Amino acid sequence: MGRTVVVLGGGISGLAASYHLSRAPCPPKVVLVEASERLGGWIRSVRGPGGAVFELGPRGIRPAGALGARTLLLVSELGLDSEVLPVRGDHPAAKNRFLYVGGALHALPSGLRGLFRPSPPFSKPLFWAGLRELTAPRGKDPDETVHSFAQRRLGPEVASLAMDSLCRGVFAGNSRELSVRSCFPSLFQAEQTHRSVLLGLLLGAGQSPRLDSALICQARAERWSQWSLRGGLETLPQALTSHLTSRGVHILRGQPACGLSLQADGRWRVSLGDGSLDADHVISALPASVLSTLLPAEAAPLARALRAIPAVSVAVVNLQYRGARLPVQGFGHLVPSSEDPGVLGIVYDSVAFPEQDGSPPGLRVTVMLGGSWLQTLEARGAGLSQELLQQQAQEAAATQLGLKEPPSHCLVHLHKNCIPQYTLGHWQKLEAATQFLASQRLPLTLAGASYEGVAVNDCIESGRQAAARVLGSEPDS
C-alpha cells in the first residue's frame, strides 16, 4: 500500500506542500486538512462596489531572487500568466516609498545620487550612514535585535526611523525585540561573511541559481518590483486548490485537527472533530502555537519550543474614496513607532494596481494598524470595536494623506495573531525543534510562516522544501 501524507493547514504553505507532493513521479496519497471552509489562510481578496478588489492580507509579491522566481514559475505552471499585474521598475510604485515623520511625508532616497543629497527626516545625507557601515567592525554575538544591529552599523537615526518602520511594515513588529539573524538573514550573513553589510550585499549578489521561464525573463527585463493578480492574490490559492483536486489530493475543509498521537506502528493518528486519519507522515503548515497544542505528551520539548514563537495581530482597514487624489505617487508610506504607536503604514493600492480600482474607479488605500497601541487594547480585552478601528484608520488617512472626505467604501478586519514574530534567539527555538525531530525520528515536517520567513515567497518555499524532505529528495537551493 502507498504512503499517506497528511498536510495540516490550507494556507499558502500547506497548499504549496500538497502541490509539490502531488507532482512527484510516484506521489503518495495526500490529504490536506483545513479548519475553515476557505483555503488560502491570510491570503484573501474580496470584491467591492464596481468590481474593485480589496486585499485583506498580502497585496504584492516580490519577484526578486531565487524564491521570487520560483513563485513566478508556479504561477506559470498554474496557467496564470495572463492574470499577472506587474509593477515595472520605472513605475512610481516601484520607485517611490515614503516615511511619515514629524507630521510630513518624506521620500526615501532612491539611486546612488540620492545618497549624497540631504534627505529629511535624516539630519545628514545617507552617504554618511553608508560610510559608517563600511568601517564598522563585525558584531560578535550569535544574534542581536534589529535595532541594536542597525544602530551599531548605520547609526541611531537609521535605526530608529528606517529600521523601526521597516520592522513595522514587514512584521508589524518591534525592532527592539525582533532578531536580525532571523528577520533579515541576508544582512546578518553579509556582516558575518564580509564584515560589512554593504560589501556583503554587493559581493554576494547574483550568486543564487538562475531559474528561467518567459515570465521570469519578463520580470527581470522590466525590473518588476512586485506583482499581483487581476482578481486579487487569492486567485493563487484558488488555482492551487483546483490543481490539487484534479491531481486527486483529498481536501478536507471545515475540519480542524484537534490532536496528534503516535501509534505503536510509528504512524500518526490525526484526530478531527468527528473522526480521525492515519498518516505515515504529517507536514504541519499550521502556526507554531497551534501545532504546539496538538502534539502528544512524548513531544513536550518540541511543543515548548513551538509555544515560544509568538505572533502579533494587525487590523487591516481598506478604504475607497470617490474623486479623491493622493498628495504623492508611490507604493505607500511607513510610520515609525515614535511618530504614531498604532499606525504601521498606509499602502496606496491604486497607484500600484489601478486595474483593481473597479468601475467607475475609486482611490483605494489600506491602513495597517498594530504595534504597541493594538497590543495594549488587546491586553485590556475590551474596547476594540470595528468603529474604533475604522475611526483610527480614517483619521490617519485624513491627517497623513489629506483624505478628509468620508470614504465611499470601508472594510475593517482584525487579524488575530497573524504575523509570527522572530524575536531575539528565534534561531535557537528552530534548532531545538529540528534537533528533537531528528533525535526522535518523528515523521513530522514543519512548514509555514512561523519559521523561516513570513513573505508569501518564503511560505511557498517552505512548503516545497517540506514536500522534498518527505519525498526523500534534497530540495535544491
Ligand X SMILES: Cc1cc2nc3c(=O)[nH]c(=O)nc-3n(C[C@H](O)[C@H](O)[C@H](O)COP(=O)(O)OP(=O)(O)OC[C@H]3O[C@@H](n4cnc5c(N)ncnc54)[C@H](O)[C@@H]3O)c2cc1C
Distance between alpha carbon 55 and the CA centroid of its chain, in Å? 14
What is the closest distance, in whole angstroms, from the C-beta atom of residue 413 to ligand X in the complex?
A: 8
- Burial 251-280, CB ≥16 within 10 A → b, else e: bbeebbbeebebeeeebbebebeeeebebb
Cβ proximity to ligand X, 40 vs 200, nearer residue: 40
8 Å CB contact between 5 and 284: no
Burial bucket for residue 451 (CB in 10 Å: 0-12, 13-18, 19+): buried
* Alpha helices (H) in 120-234, listed in sequence order: 127-135, 146-154, 156-157, 164-171, 180-183, 185-194, 197-204, 214-221
Q: How far is the C-alpha of 238 from the C-alpha of 251, rounded, in Å?
A: 13
Cβ proximity to ligand X, 36 vs 263, nearer residue: 36
What is the closest distance, in whole angstroms, from the C-beta atom of residue 409 to ligand X in the complex?
A: 18
DSSP code per residue over 201-244: HHHHTT-SPPP--HHHHHHHHTT-SEEEETT-TTHHHHHHHHHH
What is the closest distance, in whole angstroms, from the C-beta atom of residue 67 to ligand X in the complex?
A: 10
Distance between alpha carbon 172 and the CA centroid of its chain, in Å? 10
The helix (run of H) or strand (run of E) holding residue 416 is strand 409-420
What is the closest distance, in whole angstroms, from the C-beta atom of residue 7 to ligand X in the complex?
A: 10
Name the grid cell of 63. 519577484
What is the closest distance, in whole angstroms, from the C-beta atom of residue 241 to ligand X in the complex?
A: 12
The neighbour count for residue 158, using CB atoms within 10 Å, is 20
Distance between alpha carbon 254 and the CA centroid of its chain, in Å? 24
What is the closest distance, in whole angstroms, from the C-beta atom of residue 13 to ligand X in the complex?
A: 3
Burial bucket for residue 112 (CB in 10 Å: 0-12, 13-18, 19+): exposed
What is the closest distance, in whole angstroms, from the C-beta atom of residue 447 to ligand X in the complex?
A: 7
Cβ proximity to ligand X, 61 vs 216, nearer residue: 61
Residues that bind ligand X (CB under 6 A): 8-14, 33-36, 41-43, 57-61, 256-257, 285-287, 290, 314, 316, 415, 418-419, 448-449, 454-456, 459
Name the grid cell of 93. 510604485
Cβ proximity to ligand X, 415 vs 426, nearer residue: 415
Cβ proximity to ligand X, 284 vs 400, nearer residue: 284
Cβ proximity to ligand X, 183 vs 285, nearer residue: 285
Cβ proximity to ligand X, 36 vs 385, nearer residue: 36
Cβ proximity to ligand X, 35 vs 167, nearer residue: 35
- Beta-bridged to residue 252, according to DSSP, are 33
What is the closest distance, in whole angstroms, from the C-beta atom of residue 117 to ligand X in the complex?
A: 29
Cβ proximity to ligand X, 148 vs 276, nearer residue: 276
303, amino acid identity: A
What is the closest distance, in whole angstroms, from the C-beta atom of residue 419 to ligand X in the complex?
A: 6
